[in-house]
Amino acid sequence: MSPSGKTIVLAAFLAALGLCETAYAQQNILRVYMDQARVLKLDRPVSKVIVGNAKVADATVADAKTIVLTGRSFGTTNLVLLDADGNAILDESILVSIDEANTVRVFRQTERSVLSCTPNCEQHNQQDAAAASE
């Protein structure tokens, strides 16, 4: 393939990648950091709380119109909140990730470690480190 052909293929790939990232960013996703909580205020009282995968996130009813969402492990799941009549108040995806602002990555040749530095730097286990880089 000629150099100009490679450039066209690379440009097309980068454009497609940009479109995929834009589509992903436009989805309604509730983001929460692992081992941290996020408060969701609702317009009407919730009667039932359903979390797709309780190993990834947990939802606690603080009061009839307040849900506390907590990240348990890296990954994605969904949250469905129903009112007393069974109507959906909320049906959203949840993304649990690491707080990138408070991490340090250490590279030693082919080995990599991810340290969470809140407030002291502690190493995540290998599974957590691999998920954080994705």
Please tell me the predicted confidence (pLDDT) of residue 124: 60
pLDDT digits (tens, 9 = 90+) for 9-32: 444 544 555 544 444 444 678 999
Report phi then psi at 26, rounded to 5: -80, -15
pLDDT > 80? residue 59: yes
pLDDT > 60? residue 57: yes
Please tell me the predicted confidence (pLDDT) of residue 44: 94
- Domains, the chain, ranges and CATH? 28-97 (2.60.40.1080), 100-133 (no CATH)
Report phi then psi at 104, rounded to 5: -130, 135
Say if CB 77 and CB 51 are below 8 A apart. Answer: yes
DSSP 68-111: EEEE-SSEEEEEEEE-TTS-EEEEEEEEEE--GGGEEEEEETTE
CA–CA distance, 43 with 66 (Å, rounded to integer):
9
Strand 48-51 relative to strand 103-108, pairing: unpaired
